[in-house]
Amino acid sequence: MIGHGCICFYNQISSKHALGDYSVSSLSLICGVVAVIVAIIVFYLYQIHSSPSFIIAFSLLFITTLLMSTVTFIAFIDTYSVRSLVKENTSKMMSLEYEFECCGYKSQREYCQYLHKPTCYSRIVKPFMTFRMLCSIAFFSLLIETISFGIFLCLWFDGLEAQPQDMITLHISRVD
């Protein structure tokens, strides 16, 4: 989780892009801060070894994974806006050509080769398509993790009602 938070920090700080409003959401930074804080809190609660602290720790993990999957889903949707914006808005495209030292969207390949510049499609849109694919994979893996945390929490509450003990006794009885 700390790794995910650091990736969110890096994503927010390092992306200086002409389409920055569309490519990187400010939620990424918030998600990074929350992920790091929750990881520290969960580590602290895990050291206490009591049933309520475990429940609070896993509840925080559940909420954080839900938040992270929401942020990755928003980033996944934003990549569609990037592609449509680059395709449709010609004046924006001209400023992008200057910004990224590229030419044309998908046409003028011979002209681009003559100028020794890549097409703007390969310079701008392809990385976003890769980012979209990575976001979709991250979203579905976080969604599965969130569902598994939810199921685990439900099973945990049922187990606590059956035998209300502290965690150390519960672990010792399972080892025996």
Question: What is the domain range of residue 83?
Answer: 2-89+137-175
The count of domains in the chain is: 1
Q: Is residue 130 part of a domain?
A: no
C-alpha span between 64 and 72 (Å, rounded)? 12
CA 59 to centroid of chain Cα atoms: 19
Q: What is the mean pLDDT of residues 43-68?
A: 69
Q: What is the mean pLDDT of residues 73-80?
A: 62
Q: What is the mean pLDDT of residues 48-77?
A: 68
- pLDDT reported for residue 21: 44
Q: Is residue 122 part of a domain?
A: no
Query: What pTM did the predictor assign?
Result: 0.46
User: Do 124 and 102 touch, CB atoms closer than 8 A?
Assistant: yes
Q: What is the tens place of the pLDDT at every residue in 98-114?
A: 666 777 655 566 677 77
Q: Is residue 124 part of a domain?
A: no
- pLDDT reported for residue 56: 72
Q: Is residue 154 part of a domain?
A: yes
Q: Is residue 143 part of a domain?
A: yes
Weakest mean pLDDT among 18-27, 56-65, 106-115: 18-27
Pick 49 or 68 by higher pLDDT.
Answer: 68
